[in-house]
Structure 1
């Protein structure tokens, strides 16, 4: 059986020639050939040059929104296109698990296994999902141990839709929702004190939503310490790692969490619509099957995720995305992303009245950071500024609301961004520093 871990097919970059009209032969399964990253990640400029060559993206704008979608590298995009052609040509034969040499479930299990290896989990502890939001809805809405009157806790830094999922537990399960705000500055001491206080003040707490890396301001809390703190009080944690997988190097044991939902199309740069859940094997029965799903048995983690028709080509491409990530190096990639973040932050810190939302504390941030222009207050101000940056400077920054302290502009450089593009951002911030003065 031909393996699927490589990127370059016979004859070039997955160079699968289209079958001529009238030819019955199907496209071959994408062949195995190793991807090798040629770049010095220790050299900031050399790393930029090597990484930029891996992407084919619109450079008419400088796009700082990798927290939404990281974009596939060229080899991953080629693999995805090849898988899409193959799935289309084999259509129902593959979908019915009957394609000779490539049974659907066995092929998808290779993707599950690749994710499991990346996260230090067992394959039977991983189920693929249609993104982080779907994965986390599945964990939150189907948490089986909740009883009427139990409290569910979340913070202002948590993602909107995951907050909505917790709110749903109030209406559907009789839970009591406890919302709190993390005090600024977001130092480790302040964060731990805030979680300790809310847990102490909520004796009937049963479930805590914890965000591994906030999509609002980029905060990385001390996850393992908070999980341990919650468990000591009998509180389960659902960890939202949508922004962490492929961004911050970690294993499931590094977090201590039993339930994790995550995206793969953000920082891992897999095709759109890919994500997954991790459920510790000993805790599987504490997440109920999705709406009574019986396509898979109750002992199968895949019963916890919707089992309708999905983009199979996208899921089949996940191992290629992981292999590119590993070829670059997870730790080296993280260090480079932090360098990109520090590059622009260090060049605007001296602007009077400008607020950088995260303290310069090691381990508390990655690539994502929110900031406020001097005098920027309400959500309309943030939207006005984001539109100005896009229209006038051709820079995509994102207006984010939801923090107790007010809205922010979020900057999320990706691997395909350069210091030259960040120089444009710095110049724009300096030029518009008096926009709301």
Structure 2
């Protein structure tokens, strides 16, 4: 039987430090300071060059869809393959947590603790999930305080599947679903006024879904103020931070929310199918165990997530992804992502009839933004525009419907994208400005 020491030696045979060193990136321990990768007075072009070298990415089509999947760096991908090989070799002797000297849960807790540290939570407040969507379904559908006739609220900027989960509460729990649209332009004042209005006009409101960063157009609403507004009326908030964790500075205390779901395969760039939930320790009892799950006890947050067989290698790789994130520094990373967004946006403002779907207010956007070509006035035309950009220009931008104001094309630069690729996007927008006139 492999003992614990042998396990740790084997699992760490390809250490994160060794892997990162092979790709011009030191771990925080090697570098001595967090944020060393993007620090040191590098120019914007030098930063792009350094970041691009970290990835092995197909560039036959320029990918502006980082909001879907962040893509692992070469070092994280190598660490993942190492974990896959190790889990496959030891298979059930590792997967069955009761086998002596094979510390499955202890190793997974290292990933949980790394995530907890990332978001400013404790280990007992974090459970890993199969992505943000799974985690948020668990929080919404198992919210325990809802009574028949209570109202649940969401808006048009919220993610489709989370809207479906809120709708499910009508059928399963007898809740009244209240839907509203955020007024455009999406200014801070307009957003706060819209939430104030819907909360005031819904006296039996019990649960509010708030999206931290909209997947439709990149809107970052004033989350802390909205959560406080809801709490003042006795309304709980489930915060969808799938697009926030890893993209921007994030701490659970800063949000004020007691229930948060998030992805790790988007902006943290861990392997696909990784995410998590946060439940404030004092509120654990207000989310029921997943479908009566008794694999873990009711006072354990992991009972709130499906307990079937998962990609253990992916979850074991999370700390390696977080090492890369730490070496970048979240402030520097967010600043670079916003700079990529600003680069293309400022170069298409003069396109006649083009609609940019977010006003440039401080704090209301990050990497994600969206636009409408003149005459692109339906979801069908948005999909046609996506196909046009892919087939003619080899650029992946994504048609997104759902906002009351209409569909748009979402652009999400990744860390591996360059200004040369953004210049291609700008040229394509100018060229196709009359495609739907």
Equivalent residue for 1:285?
285
- Confirm or deny: 8 A CA contact 1:390 1:396 kept in the other structure: yes
Paired position in structure 1 for 2:413: 413
Determine the C-alpha separation between the residues in 2 that align with 1:115 and 1:76.
16
Distance of aligned partners of 1:418 and 1:7 in 2 relative to their CA distance in 1, 3 Å threshold: farther
Q: Map of 1:263-302 to 2, 5 A cutoff?
A: 263-302=263-302
How far apart are 1:396 and its partner, in Å? 0.3
Q: Secondary structure at the match of 2:72?
A: coil
Cα distance in 2 for partners of 1:417, 1:110 equals 31
Q: What secondary structure, in the 3-state scheme, does the structure 2 residue paired with 1:298 have?
A: coil
RMSD across aligned positions (CA): 2.0
Name the structure 1 match of 2:132. 132
Matches of 2:233 and 2:17, distance apart in 1: 59
Match for residue 24 of structure 2? none
- Counterpart-to-counterpart distance in 1, 2:29 and 2:233: 48
Question: What's 1:430 paired with?
Answer: 430
Instruction: Indicate if the aligned counterparts of 1:6 and 1:33 stay in contact, CA closer than 8 A.
Output: no
Q: Give CA deviations for 1:146-165 in whole Å, capped at 9, x if unaligned.
A: 00000000000000000000
Indicate conservation of the 8 Å contact 2:149/2:175, yes or no.
Answer: yes
Structure 1 residues 35 and 138, CA, compared in 2 at 3 Å: closer, same or farther? Answer: farther
Q: Distance in 2 between matches of 1:115 and 1:416?
A: 23
Matches within 5 A, 1:39-50: 39-40=38-39, 42-50=42-50
Instruction: Give the direction of change, closer, same or farther, for the CA distance of 1:95–1:58 in structure 2 (3 Å limit).
Output: same
Deviation of residue 4 (structure 1)?
A: 10
* Contact 2:16 2:75 survives alignment (8 Å): no
TM-score by length of 2: 0.93
What 5-or-longer segments of structure 1 have no aligned partner? Answer: 16-31
Please state whether the residue corresponding to 2:19 is helix, strand or coil.
coil
Tell me the secondary structure at the aligned position of residue 370 of structure 1: strand
Q: Give ranges in structure 2 of 5+ residues lacking alignment.
A: 22-26
Residues 38 and 329 of structure 2 are in contact (CA less than 8 Å); yes or no, is this contact kept in structure 1?
no
TM-score, scaled relative to structure 1: 0.93
| Cα distance between partner residues in 2 of 1:410 and 1:4 | 43
Contact preservation (8 Å) 1:129, 1:135: yes
CA 1:173–1:14: 2 relative to 1, 3 Å: same
Q: Please identify runs of 4+ aligned residues in structure 1 that moved more than 4 A.
A: 1-8, 32-42, 98-102
Counterpart contact for 1:132–1:261, Cα < 8 Å = yes
Matches of 2:216 and 2:17, distance apart in 1? 44
Query: What corresponds to 2:390 in structure 1?
Result: 390
Mapped partners of 1:241, 1:405: distance in 2: 23
Residues 240-262 of structure 1 show CA distances to partners (whole Å, capped at 9, x for unaligned) of 00000100111000100000000
Deviation, structure 1 residue 398: 0.2
Q: Residue 207 of structure 1 contacts residue 237 of structure 1 at CA under 8 Å; is this kept in 2?
A: yes
Q: How much does 1:55 deviate?
A: 0.4
Contact residue 6 and residue 35 of structure 1 kept, 8 A: no
Q: CA deviation at 1:343?
A: 0.3
Q: Which residue of 1 aligns with 2:256?
A: 256
Tell me the SS of whatever aligns to 1:13: helix
Note the C-alpha offset of 1:80: 0.3
Task: Quote the offset at 1:43 in angstroms.
Answer: 2.1
Q: How many residues align?
A: 421
Name the CA distance, whole Å, in 2 between partners of 1:182 and 1:10: 44
SS state at 2:404 partner:
coil
Inter-partner Cα distance in structure 1 for 2:420 and 2:390: 17
Supply the distance in 2 between the matched residues of 1:420 and 1:10 (Cα, whole angstroms): 31
Which residue of the partner structure matches residue 164 of structure 1? 164
Pick aligned residue for 2:19 from 5, 13, 29: 13
Whether the aligned pair in 2 keeps the contact of 1:67 and 1:243 (CA below 8 Å) is yes
- Please give the residue correspondences for 1:51-90 in structure 2 after superposition, counting only pairs within 5 Å: 51-90=51-90
| Matches of 1:231 and 1:312, distance apart in 2 | 37
